[in-house]
Structure 1
């Protein structure tokens, strides 16, 4: 989804030197999975190959990325993102008391606090800049305020980037590959993968009636931003399972921005609303939106953003399928 940016001043070159010095003096701690034997390497989605003399055990990173690893049994040592872990649905049911939150607003990272956790690697996402999935090396990875901050953090530990491009099926598998490199076994992945595949089949059956769907992020003063399925990994994967998602058109990447006055031109059986924007009840208060077939039928359901792993995606797809199972054709 769209990525909010917050700005702040942060420490410069002197801290980078301090980070190098401290890391040279401090070794990583062993965790439950052990450090493994021999060298470790992983090539991420921006083409960087990270090589260490042992398997990483102290993992820090973006909320969205570490949530997936935690669903596979790897508890992170530090997190940063656009919100506190307590407010992130991807961490519901998890004891986050032992995770040091070094940033709870996008782009704001306490570098000293992150350094104190002595991560072996830092994992985040790379978002494309166009519909072709292009990754621009001149733009910071997701979660970083700018390239200067990213470089500073990279001096604490190597940064692993997983691309949020193409279909969710690809992103999920790449995330699983990274988890395997950290010691997660095929046996540990088997049941989550089975649940994910079952959820996918349920969604495939739920979409067989030909329901049309659009996903939106709406704001009172801005109008409605209609997501483009080909540009959102999760939505794209749903269309691969048979969900009918009309292209809203427009030349913009990811979104088609539409005024409240013109939203009546976009008629679907179901509307999915972003949990980070106006909810369905709030949108129904807009007279033009209330005229849509989906609005009249009260077929407005949450558009959930969940981490890219078998566990979270199975849960989200099951809920989406359950909503579509009770919807009907109204266009």
Structure 2
């Protein structure tokens, strides 16, 4: 699945649906990359580290250190969130570079020249480099409680022996709750919070505007070569946020094992009526021009009306990330109308 909910690439995995998620979410196909030179061993992640640091993560695990961690390694989604709050990890893992060498959007504002890359695809994590970095904290999101996203099962025990880990739960929460947890972590680490109040105000303003579009039936989906995935709203923090704000998002009648989406053949792309379709923009997903080659999809009323808009399915869980995501969505929905 940011790798696809899918691995910014498959759709998100659950314990039962992990195999599907690996296909949709973890099989990104980008080449391995290191993301730039490693920072100096003494480079701090954040200013103002306090003595006697503790943080309770979403596993209920209390992480304790003699002082606030400064050498932080983070999965790319977690790194993108923390970066916007002012935390500077020394390394990242998970999809951060595309095939052409450019930055993967899911890594957000992270400067890849200032972090080490420990792995760029599913099941890839350079343990030797990780140990050499002498980290004092690893941070990752979780789609399944207790399972750190993109930490390989085969090397999990070794990785967790090197440094304490912190997991932030995504599934079943709203984006506001997830962002709040990352903010709590960042503040505990001494982050400077530069630009955060302004971004929070932008996010709140855009969220209020969404209520204007409650009359529109919205379908959120991702496209693959042989299938179309209709997402199940309760499992996605961003969609929970949109629905809490007043949007009417299609909920599939029958979800696949794992609960994250319903798989439809392209011949059945017209299973649900919608005024607007939001499509997954991640690199593992088909582009609009590719989906338009599927006859049933091309004939959908929303598609024919030009009401097919991008969905940034892995916007960083920060106020900056969500301000940009929601402002773009508001701008597109202003162009849409109810269809007969």
Counterpart secondary structure, 2:291: helix
Counterparts of 2:250 and 2:56, CA distance in 1: 36
Q: Which runs of 5+ in 2 are unaligned?
A: 6-10, 12-20, 29-40
Deviation at 1:90, TM superposition (A): 4.1
Distance in 2, matches of 1:104 and 1:125, equals 16
Residue-by-residue CA offset, 1:198-232 (whole Å, 9 max, x unaligned): 22123233x24x111111111122x2110011111
Which structure is higher in RCO with an 8 Å CA cutoff and minimum separation 6? 2
Give 3-state SS (helix, strand or coil) of 2:204's partner. helix
| Alignment counterpart, residue 5 of structure 1, candidates 12, 20, 26 | 26
Partner SS state of residue 169, structure 1: helix
The equivalent residue for 2:18 is none
- Partner of residue 104 from structure 1, selected from 120, 124, 127: 120
Q: Does 1:80 align with 2:93?
A: yes
Q: Are 1:193 and 2:206 an aligned pair?
A: no
Change (3 A) 1:98 1:255: same
Partner of 2:35: none
Distance 2:43 2:109 in 1: 25
Out of 27, 36, 39, the residue aligned to residue 49 of structure 2 is: 36
Whether the 8 Å CA contact 1:167–1:234 is kept in 2: the answer is yes
Give the Cα–Cα distance (whole angstroms) in 1 for the partners of residues 125 and 104 of structure 2.
17
The answer for unaligned runs of 5 or more in structure 1 is 8-27, 129-134
Could you give the per-residue CA deviations for residues 209-264 of structure 1, whole angstroms, max 9, x where no partner exists? x111111111122x211001111110111011111112111042010111112221
Shift of 1:297: 0.5
Equivalent of 2:142 in 112, 115, 126: 126
Structure 2 Cα separation of the partners of residues 44 and 105 of structure 1: 25
Over the residues paired in the alignment, what is the CA RMSD in angstroms? 2.1
Could you tell me which of 240, 243, 246 is aligned with 1:239?
Answer: 243
Q: How many residues align?
A: 298
Do 1:72 and 1:179's aligned partners in 2 also have CA atoms closer than 8 Å? yes
Structure-1 separation of matches of 2:295 and 2:331: 28
Structure of larger gyration radius: 1
Which residue number corresponds to residue 15 of structure 2?
A: none
- Label 1:320 to 1:73 Cα distance change in 2 as closer, same or farther (>3 A): same
Match of 2:16 in 1: none
Taking the aligned partners of 1:104 and 1:186, their CA distance within structure 2 comes to 28
1:284 Cα deviation from its structure 2 partner: 1.5
Where do residues 201-280 of structure 1 align in structure 2 (5 Å cutoff)?
201-205=208-212, 207-208=213-214, 210-221=215-226, 223-252=227-256, 253-276=259-282, 277-280=285-288
Quote how far apart the aligned CAs of 1:192 are: 2.2
Q: How far has the Cα of 1:94 moved from its partner?
A: 4.9
Instruction: Tell me which residue corresponds to 2:335.
Output: 326
2:159 aligns with one of 153, 157, 163: 153
Give SS of 2:263's match.
Answer: strand
> What is the rounded CA distance, in whole Å, between the counterparts of 2:111 and 2:54 in structure 1?
30
Distance, in Å, in 2 between the alignment partners of 1:32 and 1:290 is 48
Alignment of 1:38-53 (within 5 A): 38-53=51-66
- The answer on 1:295 being equivalent to 2:271 is no
Q: 1:185 to 1:87 in 2, by over 3 A?
A: closer
**In the superposition, relative to structure 1, how do residues 156 and 35 fare at CA in structure 2: closer, same or farther (>3 Å)?**
farther
Moved more, 230-239 or 92-101: 92-101
Conservation of the 8 A alpha-carbon contact between 2:80 and 2:108: no
Q: TM-score, normalised by structure 2?
A: 0.82
TM-score where L is the length of structure 1: 0.84
Determine the C-alpha separation between the residues in 1 that align with 2:94 and 2:126. 11
Offset at residue 106 of structure 1 (A)? 1.5
What is the distance in 2 between the residues matched to 1:200 and 1:306? Answer: 15
User: In 2 relative to 1, CA 188–274 (structure 1 residues): closer, same or farther, beyond 3 Å?
Assistant: closer
Answer whether contact 1:211 1:329 (CA < 8 A) is retained.
yes
Task: Name the SS for the 1:97 alignment partner.
Answer: helix
Residue deviations 1:239-296 (CA, integer Å, cap 9, x gap): 1111111211104201011111222121201111112311222211111111211111
